[in-house]
């Protein structure tokens, strides 16, 4: 599927709506819900995640965890208990992410996980992630292709 946003507010709103859709799904998942976000620097990945986190009910300010690799936010009032935001931009090899307990995080069906720069850890990702690819069209306009991979 494809979504075009005309400014950062629309990109954030798309994240918010997608989070609400995930929370409303009734079918059970076998492991964490995982969204992978690809795109160049400034393409809108973090803006999307900020809206997504709001849609999940996260009250804290969501910033990209570029230097600390991931942030964890508790969730309340639904079937999920945690939202994880990973930024793999600085990952040199996949063992680094494994050492942070990544396998346990993604195997827990009560977690929702967003991963920026997933190409850095592709061997560690399960097959049925939701993939989002962000492309800058001009200034604030973005094209986001998304679906299961």
Please write the tens of the pLDDT for every residue from 14-64: 999 999 999 998 877 889 999 999 999 999 999 999 999 999 999 999 988
Q: Specify whether the CB–CB gap between 79 and 33 falls below 8 A.
A: no
Across the chain, mean pLDDT equals 94
Taking only the tens place, the pLDDT of each residue in 107-118 is 999 999 999 999
Specify the pLDDT at position 84.
98
Whole-prediction pTM: 0.94
The confidence band for 65, taking pLDDT boundaries of 50, 70 and 90, is confident
- Using left for φ > 0, alpha for ψ between -120 and 50, and beta otherwise, residue 117 falls in left
Q: Which residues pair with 131 in a beta bridge?
A: 36, 147
Q: Three-state DSSP class for 103?
A: helix
pLDDT of amino acid 59: 93
Query: What's the confidence (pLDDT) of residue 35?
Result: 98
CA distance 60 to 50: 10
Q: Domains in the chain, ordered, with CATH?
A: 2-148 (3.40.50.300)
pLDDT at 8: 95
Contacts of residue 68, Cβ cutoff 8 Å, sequence gap at least 6: none
> Is the distance from CB of 35 to CB of 148 less than 8 angstroms?
no
Residue 66 has pLDDT above 90, yes or no: no
């Amino acid at each position: 599927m494809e979504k075009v946003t005309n400014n950062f507010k629309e990109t954030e709103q798309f994240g918010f709506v997608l989070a609400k859709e995930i929370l409303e799904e009734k079918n059970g998942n076998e492991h964490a819900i995982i969204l992978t976000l690809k795109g160049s620097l400034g393409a809108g990945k973090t803006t999307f995640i900020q809206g997504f986190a709001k849609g999940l009910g996260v009250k804290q300010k969501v910033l990209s965890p570029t230097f600390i690799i991931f942030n964890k936010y508790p969730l309340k009032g639904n079937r999920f208990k945690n939202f994880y935001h990973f930024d793999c931009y600085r990952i040199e090899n996949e063992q680094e992410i494994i050492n942070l307990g990544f396998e346990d995080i993604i195997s827990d069906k009560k977690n929702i996980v967003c991963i920026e720069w997933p190409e850095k850890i592709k061997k560690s990702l399960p097959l049925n992630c939701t993939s989002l690819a962000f492309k800058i069209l001009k200034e604030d306009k973005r094209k986001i292709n998304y679906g299961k991979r």
